[in-house]
Amino acid sequence: MVDIAHQAAINPASAMDAVPARALVPLTSVDIGQWRALAQQAIEPNGYYLPAWELAVSATAQGRTGAMALRAFDAPSKRLIGLMPVISLWHAWKIPLPALVSAHPYGTLCSPLIDRDYSAEAAACLLQQARDAVAHALILRDVALHGAAMTSLDNVLARTGLKPRVLSSYVRAALDATQDGEKLLQEALGTKKLKELRRQRHRLAEHGPVVFEVARKPDEIGPALETFLQLEASGWKGKRGTALIQDAGDATFIRRAVPALAETAQCEIVSLRAGLTPVAAGIVLRHQDRAFFFKLGVDERFAKYSPGVQLTVELTRHLCADPAIASADSTANADHPMINPIWRGRFAIGDVLIPLRRNDPVVALIHAALVAHGAASAAARRAVRLLRK
């Protein structure tokens, strides 16, 4: 174990070859039937770790390929009760230290899948599998800090005298979809703003009848996806070169994932059009009783009519009217100027360092390296923003 850990610090890639066979396996080797069953039993929904989505991401998405899996099984039944897609710290940030990091599934949520009936056993097993994979720490990126999955891990860690460290955190918007949609919008936006949105919608209708549409069926989802991709690429994301369709791997991932999830009623594309012209579209994942607003694309020629806001208002009504949906995650950045005023619920998201052994000096090195990396990344982002001004 010591020799492998030392090897991991020097050469993380070769150290992976020495990991015990069942501790860390390729994501593609996970039994799909068991993965789907676990997703239905998960203590906390995460649409971005549904198999059809995460496998497509790991196969081709830019900078997100090659994920591995930590798994937990119920010993008597050999049923999958826990799953955590991961990559090495070297793969994530080129830091040559022995740690595993949540595989980022494109959407900003990496809470692992943990069976609600075996949460303690699953959490303990996932942590042990990470130890068996010669990791000294787990770094969970974009995890719901007070979600049920993190709580399960916290409880197991507390029993062994270990304490996770929050590396960074922020609060993002969420929707309580159990409320009446009209009442929620009235309370969130107020009479004056809603009146302004109605005025803009009437102006938009001068280009043709304004229609809100939801594509769910497999034969509907393909054309709707292509409409979304074109809208996204037509706006500021296209100008920056970050639209999904602008990278071959990203385009392949999304064209694989969305139709596959539509087959199991776990994805829909919402759109707003004026006459025959689509002016806004968004991709929404569904897992258990939660929706996940993945991405939004708008035709910026209609910007003065607030097409993104108009679509989000209609989506709010749509989700609140659906008895199968209790909440929605915006998966947006903190203080998002468009969705924060509409979806007034909030929850904390963060990056968490989980030590796997007590009094381990290697964890201090990992922590210091992550802090330094975070500072360097923040400085680089500031420089980019200055260059764009």
Please give the structure tokens belonging to residue 147: 């979600």
Weakest-pLDDT range from 15-19, 84-88, 218-222: 15-19
Q: List pLDDT tens digits, range 37-95.
A: 999 999 999 999 999 999 999 999 999 999 999 999 998 889 999 999 999 999 999 99
Element (H, E) at 257: helix 248-263
Give mean pLDDT, residues 20-40: 91
Share of the chain above pLDDT 70, in %: 92
Q: So what's the pLDDT on residue 17? A: 40
Nearest to 122 by CA among 80, 85, 92, 154: 80
Contacts of 18 (CB under 8 A, 6+ apart): 4, 7, 134
Beta strand 79-88 pairing with 68-74: antiparallel
Q: List pLDDT tens digits, range 333-350.
A: 999 999 999 999 999 999
Give the largest CA-CA distance in the chain: 71
Interatomic CA distance for residues 44 and 38, integer angstroms? 11
Q: So what's the pLDDT on residue 376? A: 76
Please give the structure tokens belonging to residue 116: 């609600």
Interatomic CA distance for residues 313 and 331, integer angstroms? 16
C-alpha distance across the termini of the chain, in Å:
51
Give mean pLDDT, residues 9-19: 42
Please give the structure tokens belonging to residue 146: 């007070």
Give mean pLDDT, residues 107-135: 97
Q: List pLDDT tens digits, range 277-321.
A: 999 999 999 999 999 999 999 999 999 999 999 999 999 999 999
Q: So what's the pLDDT on residue 189? A: 97
Amino acid at 210: V
Which domains are seen in the chain, by residue range? 2-170+348-388 (3.40.630.30), 178-325 (3.40.630)
Weakest-pLDDT range from 19-28, 183-192, 196-205, 357-366: 19-28
Give mean pLDDT, residues 351-374: 96
